[in-house]
């Protein structure tokens, strides 16, 4: 389903935040492409720059103190970084939609959820009020909300967290965006509802060949949903590749750690499980990074050598569609 | 099994009046035993009553009916100082390591507080115990003087665990203790909980919506649906031979690393309202195997007296068994 020209192309992106009188970069040297019909997973711990990257794609980096300080974000060849607010408003919803992490704060408390979905449908399709209302109810049904005719008249506070999240997803999907960015869209939901939501994402993809960026910490979700994966650490891309190689043959020690530290559901569990693999320590803060010369992961890495503390490794291609930023990747056994 | 269970819950009900004569049947008649040294997992969707049940066991909400025995002692109706003393043996680790620590108190004082409240030891002994606890959970002694906001999420959860250990309890209620943490930190905390259980012979009542986490840590598992236990058994029984269609649906919905493992079993809709639970089996409305009998009679939890039990009329019927075999087939 993927075509050769990317729908979205991010080039040398740098996002900085101004604190204490200086610009601290939180995302650096980030480049990636997204084609129509493709699902790209972005994984990494909190504080690695995943969410702020997603916000930059729809021109929502909170400014001040934040700004895109370098690079381009090209949507069908048009640079979002330099686009005006009017143009951005048209792009948001029509071409790119986003599902945010917090369903509690992302809905308008003074409108019913039906009105909020219908409003989006009217703005996009120019439908009549009645048509838009019917469409809103249909969307609520699709995201698995029971008795949608009644629920459409509810205000956000009358719904559970899981239902609010589903309303958010309905708003994002109602105008059939070409690019859907979903930042931990199902983290607050039960697995049974999560499965329904992912079916909807797949439907959208089949129907209009939408591209999806899925930010998640759940490696199982990545395996089921994504074609390609990008791993971020401390504001940089440290590994990228097709989902199969990401899971079967991760090259960066951080990627390996992320995959081995999660308890995986087994059909045949042992009665005495081995302890989980641990990545010691925590993600460094952007301010600490500014002082760091070498690889940002080195202080937590069980394979780090002196060299790693001195030089920051560049992203190196490992083939047509894979890349990794680790000095020792060749020495790490498959 | 001559030793008394660490916790024994029998026909526990927790109902909340919500006005207009309506009652939420949050927990509606559950029974289970947690043997000493065992991690017991309660799983289910949001609204299944798992947290309410666990909080009732620590008497942080009031049971409507039933009995709760802690190490053989009936604590269902204790109050005031008697309950406070009983809490030496049962402590809680909460979900949110940000909201469950007093922001104005230093970490050392937070961990010492349960001993102060229960009058355990001399001040000097308490201080020594705090040092010991900090070392046990992997914090440094000089961090006692810091305030909660100076710690990361994982470290805060370590403080919460140290506080829970302070009175040398036999049972710790863990309410989603890792769901607010990043994956890498989650592994650190799960390993800590596993190590403490082995070293101190602790029992856990462990609440989680993450089946991978529950499978990793828990020896026995009960699956809750709308206030009731629908299946209970050992780790290997629940995951190798799930018998209730709801348990199968839960396991099937977990995304796994092997593409194509998704058996495509989907639950439709949401659980019914706990205000007026339906007649018969509460899962019948969402169950692909439901028959007339399921909508009229309530199935009782039955099976092996000390082992695998299920509340389903159809659990042993051929089509249910066939689906289970498809779901639990271990890939070659």
DSSP string computed for A161-207: HHHHHHHHHHHHHHT--SEEEEESTTTTS-HHHHHHHHHHHHHHHHH
Partner-chain residue, chosen from B184, B219, B331, that has the shortest CB–CB distance to A261: B184
- pLDDT for B110 beyond 90: yes
Q: Is residue B157 part of a domain?
A: yes
Q: List the single range of A129-138, B181-190, B259-268 with lowest mean pLDDT.
A: B259-268
Task: Tell me how far apart the alpha carbons of residues B279 and B273 are, in angstroms, rounded to a whole number.
Answer: 12
Tally of CA atoms within 13 A in the half-sphere of B160 that contains its CB: 28
Number of Cβ within a 10 Å radius of residue A8 = 24
User: pLDDT band for position B1 (50/70/90)?
Assistant: very low
Contact residues for B147 (Cβ-Cβ < 8 A; gap 6+): B103, B104, B105, B106, B107
Q: List the single range of A38-52, A154-168, B209-223, B278-292 with lowest mean pLDDT.
A: A154-168
Round the average pLDDT of chain A to a whole number and report it: 89
Residues B71 and B108 in one domain: no
Contact criterion met (CB below 8 Å) for A198 and A222: no
Q: Is residue B1 part of a domain?
A: no
Q: Does B299 touch chain A (CB under 8 A)?
A: no
Q: Is residue B154 part of a domain?
A: yes
Task: Tell me how far apart the alpha carbons of residues A182 and A99 are, in angstroms, rounded to a whole number.
Answer: 5
Task: Tell me how far apart the alpha carbons of residues A259 and A252 are, in angstroms, rounded to a whole number.
Answer: 11
- Strand-pairing partners, residue A73, are A10
Alpha helices in B137-182 (DSSP H): 153-165
Instruction: Please report, for the domain that includes residue B76, its CATH number.
Output: 3.40.50.300
pLDDT digits (tens, 9 = 90+) for A82-135: 988 888 888 887 889 998 877 667 889 999 999 999 998 888 888 899 999 999
List the single best residue of B158, B183, B246 to mutate versus A (max A Cβ within 10 A): B183
List the single best residue of B191, B255, B332 to mutate versus A (max A Cβ within 10 A): B255
Q: Is residue B299 part of a domain?
A: yes
Residues B105 and B76 in one domain: no
Instruction: Using the 3D structure, point to which of B136, B168, B200 is the last residue of a domain.
Output: B168
Residues B209 and B277 in one domain: yes
Q: Does B19 touch chain A (CB under 8 A)?
A: no
Residues B295 and B213 in one domain: yes
Q: Does A191 touch chain B (CB under 8 A)?
A: yes
Contact criterion met (CB below 8 Å) for A87 and A131: no
List the single best residue of B45, B98, B182, B328 to mutate versus A (max A Cβ within 10 A): B182
pLDDT above 90 covers a percentage of chain B that reads: 75
Partner-chain residue, chosen from B195, B250, B257, that has the shortest CB–CB distance to A192: B250
Is the bond preceding A64 in cis, omega lying within 30 degrees of 0?
yes
- pLDDT for B326 beyond 50: yes
Q: In the numeric block, which tokens belong to residue B143?
A: 């961090």
Residues B201 and B323 in one domain: yes
Give helix B153-165 / helix B107-118 axis angle, nearest 10°.
Answer: 20
Q: Does B188 touch chain A (CB under 8 A)?
A: yes
Per-residue DSSP letter, A268: S
Q: Is residue B2 part of a domain?
A: no
Helix (H) or strand (E) holding A13: strand A8-19
When pLDDT is averaged across residues B148-155 and rounded to a whole number, the result is 91
Residues B14 and B110 in one domain: no
Instruction: Using the 3D structure, point to which of B168, B187, B210 is the last residue of a domain.
Output: B168
Structurally, how many domains does chain B consist of? 2
Which residue is associated with the tokens 């395996």?
Answer: A223
Q: In the numeric block, which tokens belong to residue A149?
A: 């005719």
When pLDDT is averaged across residues B39-55 and rounded to a whole number, the result is 93
Closest CA to B137 of B95, B169, B167, B166: B166
Contact criterion met (CB below 8 Å) for A307 and A313: no
Q: In the numeric block, which tokens belong to residue A272?
A: 């005495």
Is this complex's ipTM strictly greater than 0.85? Answer: no
Residues in A closer than 8 angstroms to B183, CB to CB, are 45, 217, 219, 258, 261-262
When pLDDT is averaged across residues B240-261 and rounded to a whole number, the result is 83
Q: Is residue B298 part of a domain?
A: yes
Residues B157 and B306 in one domain: no
Q: If you count them, how many residues does chain B have?
A: 332
Q: Among all residues of chain A, which has the CA nearest to that of B209?
A: A190
Nearest-CA distance A189 → chain B (Å): 8
Helix (H) or strand (E) holding B174: strand B171-175
Among residues 234-293 of chain B, which lie with CB inside 8 Å of chain A? 235-236, 239-240, 249-251, 253-259, 262, 266-270
pLDDT digits (tens, 9 = 90+) for B262-275: 556 778 777 788 88
Q: In the numeric block, which tokens belong to residue A3?
A: 């075509």
User: pLDDT band for position B289 (50/70/90)?
Assistant: very high
Round the average pLDDT of chain B to a whole number and report it: 91
Q: What pLDDT is recorded for position B283?
A: 95
Residues B236 and B204 in one domain: yes
DSSP A98-146: EE-S-TTTSS-TTS-HHHHHHHHHHHHH---HHHHHHHHHHHHHHTT-S
When pLDDT is averaged across residues A155-170 and rounded to a whole number, the result is 86
Residues B70 and B193 in one domain: yes
- pTM for this model (two decimals): 0.88
Q: In the numeric block, which tokens belong to residue B2?
A: 């001559």
Is B45 close to A192, i.e. CB distance below 8 A?
Answer: yes
Nearest-CA distance A89 → chain B (Å): 33
Task: Tell me how far apart the alpha carbons of residues B91 and A327 are, in angstroms, rounded to a whole number.
Answer: 47
Q: What pLDDT is recorded for position B291?
A: 93
Q: What pLDDT is recorded for position A2?
A: 44
Contact criterion met (CB below 8 Å) for A237 and A11: no
Burial label, B22 (beta-carbon count in 10 A; 0-12, 13-18, 19+): exposed
Domain boundaries, chain A: 110-171
* Range(s) of the domain holding residue B49: 7-89+169-328
Q: What pLDDT is recorded for position B71?
A: 92
List the single best residue of A192, A203, A274 to mutate versus B (max B Cβ within 10 A): A192
Q: What pLDDT is recorded for position A137?
A: 94
Q: For chain B, give the longest Cα–Cα distance.
A: 67
How far apart, in Å, do the first and last CA atoms of chain A sit?
A: 30
Q: Is residue B141 part of a domain?
A: yes
Burial label, A90 (beta-carbon count in 10 A; 0-12, 13-18, 19+): exposed
């Amino acid at each position: 389903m993927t075509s050769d020209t990317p729908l979205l192309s991010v080039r040398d992106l740098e996002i900085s935040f101004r604190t204490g009188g200086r610009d601290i970069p939180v995302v650096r040297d980030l480049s990636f492409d997204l084609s129509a019909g493709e699902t790209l997973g972005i994984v990494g711990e909190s504080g690695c720059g995943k969410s702020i990257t997603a916000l930059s794609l729809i021109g929502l980096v909170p400014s001040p103190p934040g700004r895109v300080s370098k690079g381009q974000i090209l949507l069908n060849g048009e640079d979002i970084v330099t686009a005006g607010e009017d143009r951005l408003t048209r792009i948001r919803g029509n071409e790119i939609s986003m599902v945010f992490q917090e369903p509690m704060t992302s809905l308008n408390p003074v409108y019913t959820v039906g009105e909020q979905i219908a409003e989006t449908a009217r703005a996009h399709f120019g439908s009549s009020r009645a048509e838009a209302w019917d469409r809103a109810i249909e969307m609520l049904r699709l995201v698995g909300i029971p008795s949608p005719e009644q629920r459409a008249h509810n205000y956000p506070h009358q719904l559970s967290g899981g239902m609010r999240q589903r309303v958010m997803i309905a708003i994002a999907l109602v105008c059939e965006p070409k690019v859907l960015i979903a930042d931990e869209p199902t983290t607050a939901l039960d697995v049974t509802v999560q499965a329904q939501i992912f079916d909807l994402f797949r439907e959208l993809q089949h129907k209009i060949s939408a591209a999806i960026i899925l930010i998640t910490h759940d490696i199982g979700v990545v395996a089921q949903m994504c074609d390609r994966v990008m791993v971020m650490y401390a504001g940089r891309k440290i590994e990228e590749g097709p989902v199969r190689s990401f899971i079967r043959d991760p090259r960066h020690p951080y990627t390996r750690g992320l995959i081995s530290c999660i308890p995986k559901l087994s059909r045949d569990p042992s009665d005495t499980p081995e302890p989980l693999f641990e990545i010691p320590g925590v993600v460094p803060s952007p301010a600490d990074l500014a002082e760091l010369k070498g690889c940002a992961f080195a202080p937590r890495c069980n394979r780090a050598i002196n060299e790693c503390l001195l030089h920051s490794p560049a992203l190196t291609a490992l083939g047509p569609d894979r890349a990794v930023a680790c000095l020792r990747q060749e020495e790490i056994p498959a | 099994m001559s030793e008394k269970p660490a916790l024994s819950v029998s026909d526990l009900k927790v109902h909340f009046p919500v006005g207009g004569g309506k009652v939420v049947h949050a927990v509606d008649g559950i029974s289970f035993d947690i043997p000493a040294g065992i991690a017991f997992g309660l799983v289910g969707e949001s609204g299944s009553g798992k947290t309410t049940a666990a909080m009732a066991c620590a008497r942080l909400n009031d049971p409507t009916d039933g009995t709760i025995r802690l190490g053989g002692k009936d604590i269902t109706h204790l109050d005031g100082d008697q309950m406070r003393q009983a809490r030496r043996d049962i402590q809680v680790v909460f979900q949110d390591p940000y909201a469950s620590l007093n922001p104005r108190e230093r970490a050392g004082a937070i961990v010492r507080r349960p001993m102060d409240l229960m009058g355990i030891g001399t001040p000097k002994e308490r201080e020594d115990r705090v040092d010991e606890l900090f070392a046990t959970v992997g914090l440094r002694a000089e961090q006692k003087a810091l305030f909660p906001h100076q710690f990361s999420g994982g470290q805060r959860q370590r403080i919460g665990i140290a506080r829970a250990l302070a009175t040398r309890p036999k049972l710790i209620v863990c309410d989603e203790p890792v769901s607010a943490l990043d994956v890498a930190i989650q592994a650190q905390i799960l390993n800590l909980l596993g190590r403490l259980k082995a070293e101190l012979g602790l029992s856990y009542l462990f609440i989680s919506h993450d089946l991978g986490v529950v499978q990793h840590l828990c020896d026995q598992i009960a699956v809750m649906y709308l206030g009731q236990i629908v299946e209970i058994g050992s780790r290997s029984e629940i995951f190798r031979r799930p018998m209730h269609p709801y348990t199968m649906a839960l396991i099937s919905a977990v995304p796994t690393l092997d593409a194509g493992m998704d058996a495509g079993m989907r639950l439709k809709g949401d659980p019914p309202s706990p205000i007026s639970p339906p007649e018969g089996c509460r899962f019948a409305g969402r169950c692909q195997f439901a028959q007339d009998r399921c909508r009229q009679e309530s199935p009782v939890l039955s099976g092996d007296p000390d082992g695998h039990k299920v509340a389903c009329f159809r659990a042993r019927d051929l089509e249910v068994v066939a689906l289970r075999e498809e779901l639990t087939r271990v890939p070659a």
